[in-house]
Homo-oligomer: A and B are copies of this chain.
Amino acid sequence: MSDDAASATLAEVGEFGVIDRLVAGRRQGPGVVLGPGDDAAVLTAPDGRVVVTTDMLVEGRHFRFDWAGPYDVGRKAIAQNAADIEAMGASVTGFVVALGAPSNTRVGQLDALADGMWDEAQRVGAGIVGGDLVASPQWVVSVTALGDLCGGEPVTRAGATAGSVIAVCGELGLSAAGYALWQNGIDEFEPLRRRHLVPEPPYGQGIVAAAAGAGAMTDVSDGLIADLRHIAQCSAVGIDLASAALAPDRDALAEAAAAVVADPWSWVLAGGEDHALVATFPAGVPDGWRAIGVVLDGPARVLIDGDEWEGYQGWQSFG
């Protein structure tokens, strides 16, 4: 694309011209029966059931352009939706994206967002099959992800049973650490600051966990304890985390925590947005997963070494 077009505004190029540009040259996957450009898209659903989830990111609330460029915003929006599909024990088949942006936005900014979305979608093994583009006072990125269960049963939050092992795949607390570094204007610890902008969910491990007999599963989006509390409540079980098993996660963040004078435990236990997967396994933890605790009989609660966690409780919208 020419630089001229990239520096034009959405108002100058118009909805249909921008959409043509965003769609041009993208390679759709084999499961796409009908891609962008019609009233709706059509994807294969080989399992006969389809998994669906949606998440909205609002500029100023979920991302800010003085920290993240639109490329990173695109990657994050796709990643967090993909993680929700993985957390059901499913495989992502495609995404649709509804995007709001101001009329004076440069087309090149949308190119970058779309590039980020496509790069992340390809890491998942899927494509963006459709969308909507509208005028909005600030950027709003609303992604819906579809997935296929590949013949397995959905792994909900309700299937945890006493005696199972709790295990995690992926990282804990990195996004929260990065957020604190950005907040404090510290420009060291580049990998942590990057991880706040773009999480790296363990793609493909949702299906692995389901095949290994996971009883319950979720992704860590609001914070480890907050998300495990959902499993505890839905499954009517207790959960006891072992601080010794989580200590390496804490130690990896100790230097950054010292720099911002924070408690690395609160990042590990209550930091969201890493989109690690956490699951309960009644019989054996698969390769690549780390045991971090055990499932107890009820009441529904989450303990650390047998005690209640009294720190920050995790993210809520409007909090």
Q: Which residues of A contact B (CB under 8 A)?
A: 10-11, 13-16, 18, 33-34, 37-58, 60-62, 83-85, 87-88, 90, 94, 96-100, 103, 129-138, 140, 142, 144-147, 149, 154, 156-158, 217-219, 234, 316-319
Contacts and interface: CB of A to CB of B under 8 A. Distances in A.
Given A40-B90, A135-B317, A318-B11, A130 B100 contact: no
A98 B54 contact: yes
How many of these chains are in the complex? 2
B88 A38 contact: yes
Contacts of A57: 134
Contact of A98 (B37, B55, B84): B55
A137 B14 contact: no
Nearest to A157: B38
A125 B191 CA distance: 49
Given A58-B100, A58-B136, A61-B136, 16 more contacts: A38-B88, A39-B83, A40-B52, A40-B87, A40-B145, A42-B52, A44-B49, A45-B47, A45-B50, A48-B48, A54-B97, A54-B144, A56-B140, A60-B137, A132-B142, A135-B318
A41 B48 contact: no
17 contacts: A15-B319, A16-B316, A40-B51, A40-B88, A41-B52, A42-B149, A44-B48, A50-B50, A52-B130, A53-B130, A56-B134, A60-B137, A62-B134, A134-B317, A135-B318, A136-B140, A142-B142
A99 B58 CA distance: 10
Given A40-B87, A58-B100, A129 B52 contact: yes
Contacts of A61: 134-136
A28 to B, nearest CB: 13
A103 B58 CA distance: 13
Contacts of A38: 88, 154, 156-158, 218, 234
Contact of A52 (B87, B90, B94, B158): B94
Instruction: Among A45, A52, A145, find the residue whose CB has the most chain B CB atoms closer than 10 A.
Output: A52
Given A52-B144, A154-B33, A218 B137 contact: no
A137 B53 CA distance: 23
Contacts of A94: 52
A88 B42 contact: yes
Q: Which of A146, A149, A217, A318 has the most CB of B within 10 A?
A: A318
A300 B271 CA distance: 55
A247 to B, nearest CB: 28
Contacts of A33: 49, 154
Nearest to A62: B134
Contacts of A317: 10, 14-15, 133-135
